[in-house]
Structure 1
Amino acid sequence: MNILYLDLDSLRPDHLGCYGYHRNTSPHIDSIAKDGVRFTNYYCSDAPCAPSRTALMSGRFGIHNGVVGHGGTAADMRHEGVSRGFSDRLGKESLPGMLRKLGYKTASISTFSERHSLWTFNAGFNEVFNNGHKGHEAAEDVLPIALKWLEDNAGKENWFLHLNFWDPHTPYRTPDEFGNPFEHEPMPAWITEEVFAQHKQKQGQHSIEDMNKLALSHYYKHQRHSKQIEQYNDLRVILDNYDTAIRYMDAHIGQVIGKLEELGLMEDTAILISADHAENMGELGIYSEHGTADQGTCHIPMIIRWPNGGVQGIADDGLHYQIDLAPTLAQLLGAPASDYWDGTSYAATITEGASTGRDYLVLSQCAHVCQRSVRFENWLYIRSYHDGHHGFPKEMLFDLENDPYEQKNLANEKREICMQAVYLLNEWHDEMMSTMEHDNDPLWTVMKEGGPLHAREYLEWQNK
């Protein structure tokens, strides 16, 4: 069996048709979802980009693998130290390394490792294709490489292709000729004029005020960011262009699927569609950024179309991490799980539709803020150790069933729920610290080195 993993940067699940979005952003992704399992409560354990993809490929939480931020000591994987032999464990026990041990040809089409200088991401891949644009490439730059690779490997059995598109990542740079397919469609209903007025007053990193400054200082080369956000309808600068980027990317994904069909590979190819993180689009008053340990940033799509025995057309509501993928694929392919991994398998969901979710999740972010969050029942509890110049209080609590966009902090009203969340956070932390060779939590490494990299950069930028 072949496996195609579509790694779609900054993609929110609720901006996809198959997750109930009112705009037609993702017809080709939706077609895959109809034939597979759609996971509705899937999260990156560590956000954003570098921590998330390191966790995915290593199968380990950031607190274990060491990568929780985008700069300083905590932007590099931990060394194995004295226990390291001639080769390290990552080469064989990373996600692609595990597949290679099973006889898979593994390849990655991505600029991620160079963008973040995380060369360990490439461990376990036979081939790595990097077009050198460091994440600034559009789908049109990636597609020819992908189509040629599929043609060159069409006659081979058992390959794993990691294919990375960046288009939903700000700045939105969809070619002008693609237009705006959503210019006459309503914006998300929850962002009312009243909500906009509140967000317009917010200051600090990633606020509307901040986005307007970025449009002048950083994004001015991109026509889609040329308009300042002053009135309610100006929010289309962000929302329409984010959705247009998804639609543009989806069109190129359609060509990848078409190539699989043309080559006769669809029946024997598993297709996985996910993201490294999502993108805040108003959550916590933040737009076009993935800088928090919240629902907007950490809640990601996962769609798995598994031929030859996979269930079709179902949604699974269980709580899962992206680090659960390595043990899941191992079980589906008949391989033993590694004691190196922190994840747990949800293979039975894919083959039987069984419930395999966790009781709770702990989510971390140390690139823009230092936060840890607990996702349990219908609650999201966020604890801020460094607010990243956003003005966040130490504790935030949101009822995601009634307030999915995090507009009303209930921490002062629901102290008993906060205490329950803190207990779960402490239980997780105790387990993490007791199951690693190191005695330091990298979140505190970030704090001691001056705080999150992007928060330091923001302060320097503001003081210029």
Structure 2
Amino acid sequence: MFAANAQAREPVPTQTNTQDEHIRRGGRALSASNWRLKAILLFLLFVLGWGGLTACGEPREAPPSRARPNVVLIVLDTIRADILSAYGYPKPTSPSLSLVASEGILFHQAITTDFWTLPAHASLLTGEYPAVHQATSETNALGEEAMTLAEYLRAAGYKTRAYVSNPWIGSEQGFGQGFDTYIETWKSAPTAHDAYATDSAGIEGAQAWLNEQNERGENFFLFLNLNSAHMPYSPDALTLVEISPAPRSPERTRELRAIKGMWAYLGGEYSLKAEDFEMLQDLYAAEVAMVDGLVGGMVEFMRELNMLDNTLLIITSDHGENLGEHGMVDHLLSMYETTMRVPLIMRLPSSFSAGSESEELVSLVDIVPTVLDICGLAPQYPDIAARSLLSPSRSPHEFVIAENERPLNGVNLMRENFPDFDPASIDHRMKMLRTLQHKLIWYDDGRVEVYDLQSDPGELNDLSVLEPELSSRLLSQLEAWNAAQEDPRPSQPVEISDPETRDQLRALGYID
């Protein structure tokens, strides 16, 4: 059982390129509102002692299981930890995640490795920092030399499949490595950006595949990327009212539903007032609630198939989102907590005590080692598995790192579309070193920012000048970490040529 820094919660071999394989969407099989209601009821049942405990509070006998667990990894794209009711948000945005956490472990200090999709997913799937895997905005791809979680598990006999909704992690960018089938659900979207439709299609396809795997009795690895919470925010009206019944201007709401991300904002394509940020937060929270409903449907489907307790379920995000903090929207160019602190919940009764919480500092690079360890693959990969969150020989992180290379996609877009904007103002590399208490943000032009996260959780008071000794110590730690890293893997820039992928990236405001 996971024990380090955890405490019990009160219950509250070759790449398959399948670019032409699409999931065609029929009617919606799932209702986010219905699943949220069901999740709340199931959570209450658990609190009353009916979800995994006998009336006397003793654990139920676990069903017979295979020697190795299945693995389901769900990435809730663009979801910051503090927007979730599972992490204390006052509105009911995540009853499904709260239920999963009550049956597993919730990590409070999970930190991503970058503020945008491609490098963060590469870290999640390889266990490497961006400086090593080199899947960055300077390359736009994960190189073939990288070893992914899917490749490790497929070599161990797992069937591997993915349903992904974000076009930054397509097979053209190298993310299909190790998957028997890699389905890019955005290619079946009825419009240029209908993320909920593509997420629903992925859930439906995944459920059909799980049915097949359950009948075959084979170990499997399923990877789901759900992109509904990404800007532009377009929740359905019912969910928006459930999350925030406050009256709002219909006209302004329509306008805010249509705005794109950080590049358009920097270019002056639109402006926002304080009340606009409040409305954006409600729209975003409603999108998050809809994604939570989809996850709830998936979890209950697995429960009904009696496969949930023999499945390592991992739910996390690649990065968060700015909602006006530091004058920013979207998630680009920001290494503040709003974008860097992400949810992380794991469930597997044989490994994690139900209702546990951990304040330990963890990173997305910890996922691969932990999965390999739990799946019994430590003998094959001892150096990697030694970094598992469950490894008795592992020492907790003193700090974790995030890093971003030059944002060339944004630089090029701003140069082409906003001639009055100086692209040099954003053309820099960034790194972050974060401890449990402090954060250093480093820019390659020599600037640094330092924050005390305990006394200043909003990161409003830069201590880099006021506390030079602290700044020097953190900077020395970052420099030592940089020097200790292995050489970066050779990489070549990839030109994204698939027209459907380019259309989606354009709709999201990433490219011209």
Q: Retained in 1: the 8 A contact 2:133–2:488?
A: no
Q: Retained in 2: the 8 A contact 1:292–1:371?
A: no
Gaps of 5+ in 1: 81-89, 187-204, 216-227, 387-392, 443-453
Aligned to 2:230: 169
Equivalent position SS for 1:237: helix
Equivalent position SS for 1:46: coil
Aligned to 2:416: none
Please tell me the residue identity of whatever aligns with 2:203: L
Equivalent position SS for 1:164: strand
Cα deviation, residue 348, structure 1: 4.5
Aligned to 2:459: 406
Cα deviation, residue 333, structure 1: 1.7
Aligned to 1:4: 72
Q: Retained in 2: the 8 A contact 1:170–1:289?
A: no
**CA distance in structure 2 between the aligned counterparts of 1:439 and 1:99, rounded to whole angstroms:** 24
Q: Retained in 2: the 8 A contact 1:324–1:343?
A: no
Equivalent position SS for 1:11: coil
Matches within 5 A, 1:190-339: 206=262, 210=265, 213-214=268-269, 229-230=272-273, 232-336=274-378, 338=381
> Which moved further from structure 2: 393-402 or 21-30?
393-402
**CA distance in structure 2 between the aligned counterparts of 1:174 and 1:438, rounded to whole angstroms:** 40
Aligned to 2:387: 344
Aligned to 1:123: 177
Q: Retained in 1: the 8 A contact 2:102–2:355?
A: yes
The Cα offsets for residues 82-139 of structure 1, whole Å up to 9 and x where unpaired, read as xxxxxxxx4xx31111111222111111144666665321111111122214875213
**CA distance in structure 1 between the aligned counterparts of 2:168 and 2:481, rounded to whole angstroms:** 32
Task: Say if 1:259 and 1:341 are closer, same or farther in 2 by CA, change over 3 A.
Answer: same
Aligned to 2:148: 94
Please tell me the residue identity of whatever aligns with 1:382: I
Equivalent position SS for 1:181: helix
Task: Say if 1:379 and 1:148 are closer, same or farther in 2 by CA, change over 3 A.
Answer: same
Please tell me the residue identity of whatever aligns with 1:233: E
> 1:142 aligned to 185, 189, 202, which one?
202
Equivalent position SS for 2:151: helix
Task: Say if 1:360 and 1:299 are closer, same or farther in 2 by CA, change over 3 A.
Answer: same
Task: Say if 1:135 and 1:428 are closer, same or farther in 2 by CA, change over 3 A.
Answer: farther
The Cα offsets for residues 260-285 of structure 1, whole Å up to 9 and x where unpaired, read as 12222222222110011111233332
Cα deviation, residue 15, structure 1: 1.2
Matches within 5 A, 1:18-97: 18-69=86-137, 72=138, 74-78=139-143, 80=145, 90=146, 93-97=147-151
Aligned to 1:436: 487
Q: What is the TM-score of this pair, normalised by structure 1?
A: 0.75
Q: What is the TM-score of this pair, normalised by structure 2?
A: 0.69
Q: Retained in 2: the 8 A contact 1:167–1:246?
A: yes
Cα deviation, residue 327, structure 1: 1.1
Aligned to 1:223: none
Equivalent position SS for 2:431: strand
**CA distance in structure 2 between the aligned counterparts of 1:424 and 1:113, rounded to whole angstroms:** 35
Equivalent position SS for 1:317: strand
Aligned to 1:201: none
**CA distance in structure 2 between the aligned counterparts of 1:111 and 1:96, rounded to whole angstroms:** 18
Cα deviation, residue 5, structure 1: 1.1
Please tell me the residue identity of whatever aligns with 2:313: I
Gaps of 5+ in 2: 1-68, 248-260, 411-425, 494-504
Equivalent position SS for 1:420: helix
Please tell me the residue identity of whatever aligns with 2:438: W
Cα deviation, residue 213, structure 1: 4.8
Number of residue pairs matched? 390
Aligned to 1:383: 442
**CA distance in structure 2 between the aligned counterparts of 1:340 and 1:173, rounded to whole angstroms:** 44
The Cα offsets for residues 275-324 of structure 1, whole Å up to 9 and x where unpaired, read as 11111233332123243233222211110011224222111111221111
**CA distance in structure 1 between the aligned counterparts of 2:276 and 2:142, rounded to whole angstroms:** 42
Q: Retained in 2: the 8 A contact 1:293–1:365?
A: no
Cα deviation, residue 236, structure 1: 2.6
**CA distance in structure 2 between the aligned counterparts of 1:278 and 1:17, rounded to whole angstroms:** 15
Q: Retained in 2: the 8 A contact 1:13–1:300?
A: yes
The Cα offsets for residues 192-237 of structure 1, whole Å up to 9 and x where unpaired, read as xxxxxxxxxxxxx949x9289555xxxxxxxxxxxx733x333232
The Cα offsets for residues 60-90 of structure 1, whole Å up to 9 and x where unpaired, read as 2111111232xx4x3234565xxxxxxxxx4
**CA distance in structure 2 between the aligned counterparts of 1:267 and 1:214, rounded to whole angstroms:** 49
Task: Say if 1:379 and 1:425 are closer, same or farther in 2 by CA, change over 3 A.
Answer: same
**CA distance in structure 1 between the aligned counterparts of 2:129 and 2:280, rounded to whole angstroms:** 32
Q: Retained in 2: the 8 A contact 1:37–1:313?
A: yes
The Cα offsets for residues 371-415 of structure 1, whole Å up to 9 and x where unpaired, read as 1011024111111226xxxxxx81111111122222221211111
Q: Retained in 2: the 8 A contact 1:6–1:164?
A: yes
Aligned to 1:218: none
Q: Retained in 1: the 8 A contact 2:160–2:181?
A: yes
**CA distance in structure 2 between the aligned counterparts of 1:206 and 1:356, rounded to whole angstroms:** 38
Q: Retained in 2: the 8 A contact 1:10–1:290?
A: no
Please tell me the residue identity of whatever aligns with 2:179: F
Aligned to 1:394: 447
Q: Retained in 2: the 8 A contact 1:212–1:229?
A: no
Aligned to 1:198: none
